[in-house]
Amino acid sequence: MFWAFAGLVALVAGGRGLIADEGQWLPEQLRQLDWGKLRERGLELQPKEIWDGEAGLLSAAVNINGCSASFVSGDGLVLTNHHCGYAAINANSTTERNLLRDGFVAPGFAAELPARGYRVSIVRRIEDVTAQIHDAAEQAGDDPRARWEAVQRKVRELVAEGERQPNTSVIVTDYYQGREWRRIYRTEFQDVRLVYAPPAMVGEYGGDVDNWMWPRHTGDFSFFRAYVAPDGSPAPYHPNNVPYRPERWLEVSQEGVDAGDLVMVMGYPGRTERYLSSTLVAARESFFFPRRLNLYTRLLDAWQRATAASPEDHLKIASRRKSLANRQKNAEGMVWGLHRNQVVARKQAEEKELQAWIQSDPQRSELYGDVFRQLEALDFEEIARQERDFVLTEMVRRSAYLALGSRLLRFAEERGKQDLDRAQGYQQRDLPRLQAVVKGFSRSLVPSVEVETLAILLAEAQKLPDHQRLQGLDLWLQEVQREGESLQQLALRLVLGTRLNQTEFRMQLMQDGHPDVEDSRDPMLALCLSLSADLADMRAFQSRLAGMRMDVGARWIEAQQAWRGGRFYPDANRTLRVSFATVKGYEPRDGVFHTPFTSVEGMVAKHTGTEPFDLPDSVQKAARNRNLGAWTPNGKSSPPVCFLSDADTTGGNSGSPVVDGTGRLVGLNFDRVFENVAGDYGWNPARSRNIAVDLRFILWHLGAVMPAPRLLQEMGVVPALTEAKGTSLKF
């Protein structure tokens, strides 16, 4: 049964409302905010100027391959983080022409490089489809798994219906644990090209040492461009395509912001878990993040050893290694932050207070009296199999071979169904992307890395307790592993024996389907097949649990919303959001205060000549020659590099445009401070700080370090300003 929120306002007893700048707001929620206070803080825009239901400032905020970005010119120029563009920069690099090392500047449109596999999408319209989804669940009866599968089929129907509109991509997603659903209409651009990237020792200056840390001096930015067919419609890459002409793009600010200024962060935050029970947060703290940290640390060490002797192999896996290293340090921060911030204890105290509030009123007690007990029962079911599901999930994510093989097996299974009955990711609409993945599989494949990865993952599986064993894998090992053969030797034998590294073989398997995949004698596919029953069991469990949470979770959210009162925002789920913030520093520990800006002067001071602090000569020369442009604030000796604000952000906000009170671009979000890594479980006014690269640094780099005068002019940067303060900038 679904529970509607109508009438619950009368049950609110005192506000446990939001504080300061907490909140990742949906576009439709903007009108509900306190605009009087926002105007007092410096916001000059009206709600409808930011989003009027179909357009506004938010139309300039785009999604690029899971990151956020923004249009910054009328010719489809897209600005995002260097680490968001890393895979495209990496893919266009060779040992002879290493764009990661040297950077890249396209002198004109014709020189812009295809970013294969990249997509840019913009939101056109958001539609409430809650009633259709809830009706589908109700018609499916009482079985939780059947209800969830009916919901998923309805989602696919709504997507197919929406995509009948020309040049339209659709997603359907839930909010508040399934209490509300939205259909989001997007335009997706398939032809995306690399325009400009600083060297990695600017774009990731400080590397893993400075990652998630402050003070930060990383110039984390890159430029791309969206292209369309000559008639203006989205189209795959073609030399005759032309730059897209967006209806809305962001004006860049050449003045920047100061401490105390209001800013907005717009983008597509990935995932938060603010409304989890203390039971599940405790499991995240005690098991999930420590286990992830341990596994990823060992994988990274193994990958380093496997590629140490080969610059070519090291470059091949650069993007993959960077992504895993980011997750590894995130896990470290979660372990530290959840413990330091006492998140579990705080949630337990909140839950006790919430339950007392529920029991104090007969009507509330009737609505929510059993919700916490039911929620905990579901949580304990999840925890009971967490080790097994963790290992199984990591096996088919971290091993490139197992990821591909399992995907081919699933596709072979799904292709025999009617299109609307297929799982998302395996429908007809998904085939071009799936074919691109299968065809391009070998580009970043390093056999020695795969041997190390597979050996580590098999060892993880062998450590599982008896009641959580992967039975199919155990039987396969009994049949395949030779007497006295180590897991390392077995992994080597599998990698040497598989044909999945052959493009023709992979494409043939995808074309021929189920019998050929299952009957193949390929040893790696045999391993994947041994995991298929356990994967199907995990999916079935997750479907049943999701079906139960549609009722219990929705009631849990409603109880919290009624109790907390005031404005209430949903967890992040990769959809368009806005966060309001103030530029400010913070006190990480007693006696230490971090100011909110870093500078080029500090960037140069960090230079050691050794990675990750090996600053390019071009940056040092520009700074040494006092070639600092008009972007040095009054009273300062050099342009700012990064700044802090207390915006509510998470993964997926990488590349989010940070705009001032007039809507002008002042920076790009790219990270959080270490003390805020655990912010996914709760915003904290003292420690929640995000890190943005200051736009003044980007403009300085384009003007004085790796000159790109056409981009400055395209963004409307006035040449006269670049020559201010006695600098030698000329273009």
Nearest residue to 721 (alpha-carbon basis) of 631, 614, 622: 631
| Residue appearing with tokens 């006790």 | 352
- Non-local CB neighbours of 57 within 8 Å, separated by 6+ positions: 45, 49, 50, 51, 248, 250, 266, 659, 663
Rounded Cα gap, residues 302 and 281, in angstroms:
30
Active site residue 82: no
CA distance 69 to 194: 14
What are the backbone dihedrals phi and psi of residue 53, each rounded to the nearest 5 degrees, phi first? 110, -25
Contacts of 60 (CB under 8 A, 6+ apart): 70, 71, 246, 248, 249, 250, 266, 657
Q: Are strands 169-175 and 657-659 parallel, antiparallel or unpaired?
A: unpaired
Take residue 145 and report the two structure tokens written for it.
Answer: 């798994």
Determine the 3-state secondary structure of 465 from DSSP: coil
Helix boundaries (H) for 565-670: 600-605, 617-624
Supply φ then ψ for residue 422, to 5 degrees. Answer: -75, 150
- In 3-state terms, what secondary structure has residue 636? coil
In 3D, which of 317, 312, 309, 321 has the Cα closest to residue 96?
A: 312
* Omega before residue 612 within 30° of 0, cis: yes
Q: In 3-state terms, what secondary structure has residue 112?
A: coil
From the candidates 174, 210, 220, 534, which is the catalytic residue?
Answer: 220
**CA–CA distance from 325 to each of 85, 101, 390, 395 (Å)?**
16, 19, 18, 17
Round to whole Å and give the CA distance between 109 and 505. Answer: 37
Sheet of strand 690-694: strand arrangement = 577-582, 262-267, 657-659, 665-672, 690-694, 640-645, 597-599
Based on the residue annotation, tell me whether 208 is a catalytic residue of this protein.
Answer: no
DSSP state of 250: P
Count CB neighbours of 19 within 10 A: 11
Catalytic choice (83, 134, 217, 701): 83
> Of residues 121, 222, 399, 654, which has the active-site annotation?
654
Closest CA to 193 of 245, 232, 168, 228: 228
From 323, 456, 315, 460, select the one nearest 387 (Cα to Cα). 460
Is 220 among the residues known to form the active site? Answer: yes
Contact between 238 and 19 under an 8 Å Cβ cutoff? The reply is no
Spatial separation of the C-alpha atoms in residues 168 and 161, rounded to whole Å: 10
Active-site annotation, residues: 83, 220, 654
